[in-house]
Amino acid sequence: MKFEQLYHRFDKIKEEWSADTKIDFQFKNKEYSEDLARLALEIPFQHNKYLNHYTDISQIKTSFEFEHRKMVKEKREYYGGESEARVYAEKPFGSHIKTSEKMKVYMESDDELINLEAKIKFMDQMLHYLDQVMKQISNRSHHIRHAIDWEKFINGS
């Protein structure tokens, strides 16, 4: 999966959350234009929606992590001079690396590894965002309850 696809997916999730959090209140008339009961009933469906997003992103991250493990092994063999001849024919490398310090430098500066690690970090950010969204959804019933209590207070009940 390319970064553009990840960014697009994340932007789409953020747009969905922005739309899902809109509640239109009319305080002048002391009436809610949104039906609070309907909002309360939507909570499990919203939680399921974002939990599905979370699960999908988590699975993609896991596949990136497995791909990263394999790539680290391949890069160690490549930089250590242990890869097959066809690998060096496709992507020549001057000599093999003998010290662990030099291996570390090459591994940390490898573009393919950096790209994959950046995707994994981005996935972590997406998962953190989704975790926060699900916490907000879980707390939404409390917010709705407070709105109902406030409405009762304003109306003298």
89: containing domain: 47-157
Q: Which residues contact 141 (CB under 8 A, 6 or more apart)?
A: 40, 43
Sign of the four-CA dihedral 15, 21, 27, 33: positive
Query: Which of 44, 10, 9, 39 has the alpha carbon at shortest distance from 23?
Result: 39
Domains identified in the chain, total number: 1
Please, which pLDDT band fits residue 33 given cuts at 50, 70 and 90?
Answer: low
Query: Is residue 73, in this structure, part of any structural domain at all?
Result: yes
What's the gap between Cα 70 and its chain centre?
22
Asked, for residue 23, whether it belongs to a domain, the answer is no
**Domain contains 93:** yes
8, 20, 42, 73 from 67: Cα distances, Å? 22, 34, 38, 10
User: Is residue 4 situated within a structural domain?
Assistant: no
Is 96 inside any structural domain?
yes
pLDDT of residue 30: 53
Q: Is residue 117 part of a domain?
A: yes
- Within-domain flag for 106: yes
In a domain, 111, yes or no: yes
Confidence of residue 28 (pLDDT cuts 50, 70, 90): very low
Percent residues over pLDDT 70 in the chain: 92
Determine the Cα–Cα distance for residues 131 and 112; give it in Å rounded to an integer: 29
Mean of pLDDT over the chain: 88
